[in-house]
Amino acid sequence: MSGSTGLAHGVGAGHDLPIPAFHAYAGAFAALLVSFLALGLLWPRSRFRGDRAGRPLPARLQRWARAPALRAGLRALGLAAAATVLLHLLLGPDDPERNPAPGAVYVLLWVGLLPASLLLGPVWRLLNPLRTLHALGCRVVHRPPAEPFRRLPQRLGYRPAAAGLLAFTWLELASPAPASTTALLAFLLVYASVHLAGAAVFGSDWFDRCDAFEAYSGLLARLAPIGRRTDGQLVVRSPLHGLDGTPPAPGLVAVMCVLLGSTAYDGVSDTPSWITTLQTSPLGRTTTATLGLLACTAAVAALYVVGAGAARLMAGPVRRPLTTFAHSLLPIAIGYLVAHYCSLLAVEGPRTVLTAMGSDPADLPGPEPPLSPGGLATLQVVSVVTGHVLGVVAAHDRSVRVHPPDRAPAGEVPLLVLMIVYTLAGIGLLIS
């Protein structure tokens, strides 16, 4: 990325770490191993109840959350924000330092959805301007938004969302000019056309798992402290209960691998050796970057498939062998996302908002990192390790539920090895 959204997301050189790199690796390895051993001794039965768990919020908060005025206001806000971005892309300068549209998409939307969804739930479902446009169109033709011309095939699952996420991350990380107003406008118009057409045929259910940003926000919200129980009540619950309730739909593994693979490539793309490769490759920068992005995503997927296959061999067959443990990848992906993008949101988010409000970028103070290099490094390493430990917990609880008690520990060993490989690779990218 260039311009205002072109910050490096890694820590920098290894000496920026507040502890030696070896200690970071050893600490991460020890945390995962101790977690695995403790779970095996102290967690013999499944404890998570998915969407059946949670304590209902007070009735007044339930009514407030369901208030039509609140929902209408959020839909109007999402539509107004989308219109503002489009106007800046159409009429603003093709300079990301003076045009807030690239920052609005790459920082406020893509990165900002992470903390918003983790804290408040699937916020993009209410803000999504495409869902609002579809509802307005249905009102014009006197047709309920949820009434489809054709039933959405269950086999699609999250696959369209995975394709959309891959396309967006390609635009951000591998395209020739990601901050170009022309490229960004073209992508958003094509994206909107595809999903409005899908919703016109399959109804508003299309957005839940096929719209990349809504699916992304909904999956992140699985770790939010506020969720919706199966009886429709808004509840306060342990995030791990919400994670356990992640629907094992087709394409869930693909979404997780795109999130992990694209974040891994973002880390790789900042290394001097890869920058040299891009500059000297006979294939050209865009083709080489595209192959690098696909290779990182494929490597993440291959490791997961091998781990899931080994678990099946060691513990016995399970229904949906790939998707059964896919939810355990979600906290890992969140850990990587926090590690790579937290400073970007803190630094570039306010500048984007101030530029959109009419401030002259030349008058704004220079970007100041929110943390010292040591503090940022600590946050990044802790985020990665915490995500993997939560993944180990989620995988263990699912293993003791689906496998016989005497074979569950054996089935977890390949998943533990997978988590260790992901962890060490993630820390390696942060300090490279």
pLDDT in tens, 36-76: 888 888 888 999 999 999 999 998 999 998 899 999 999 99
The pLDDT confidence band at residue 229, using thresholds 50, 70 and 90, is very high
pLDDT at position 349 is 83
Residue among 242, 302, 236, 293 at smallest CA distance from 62? 236
According to DSSP, the residues that pair with 235 across neighbouring strands are 56, 227
What phi-psi label fits residue 358: left (phi over 0), alpha (psi between -120 and 50 degrees) or beta?
A: left
pLDDT at position 135 is 94
| DSSP line for 102-151 | HHIIIIIITTTHHHHHHHHSSTHHHH-HHHHHHHHHHHHTT--TT--SSP
Residue 55 host element (H or E)? strand 55-56
Q: Is the pLDDT of residue 202 over 50?
A: yes
329-370 residue pLDDT tens: 999 999 999 988 888 888 888 888 888 877 766 666 666 666
Residues in the chain: 432
Global pTM value:
0.90
| DSSP line for 273-334 | HHHHHHHH-TT-HHHHHHHHHHHHHHHHHHHHHHHHHHHHHHH---SSTTTTTGGGHHHHHH
* Mean pLDDT, the chain, whole residue set: 87
Retrieve residue 66's tokens. Answer: 């369901």
Least reliable range by pLDDT among 122-126, 201-205, 356-360, 376-380: 356-360
Least reliable range by pLDDT among 64-73, 95-104, 406-415: 406-415
Least reliable range by pLDDT among 172-176, 182-186, 211-215, 356-360: 356-360
Retrieve residue 189's tokens. Answer: 């118009």
According to DSSP, the residues that pair with 215 across neighbouring strands are none
Retrieve residue 108's tokens. Answer: 């406020």
Retrieve residue 74's tokens. Answer: 């959020």
Rounded to whole angstroms, how far apart are CA atoms 207 and 214?
7
pLDDT at position 105 is 94
Question: What percent of the chain is modeled with pLDDT above 90?
Answer: 55
Retrieve residue 168's tokens. Answer: 């967006």
Q: Is the pLDDT of residue 18 over 60?
A: no
The pLDDT confidence band at residue 8, using thresholds 50, 70 and 90, is very low
pLDDT at position 9 is 40
The pLDDT confidence band at residue 83, using thresholds 50, 70 and 90, is very high
SS3 label, residue 6: coil
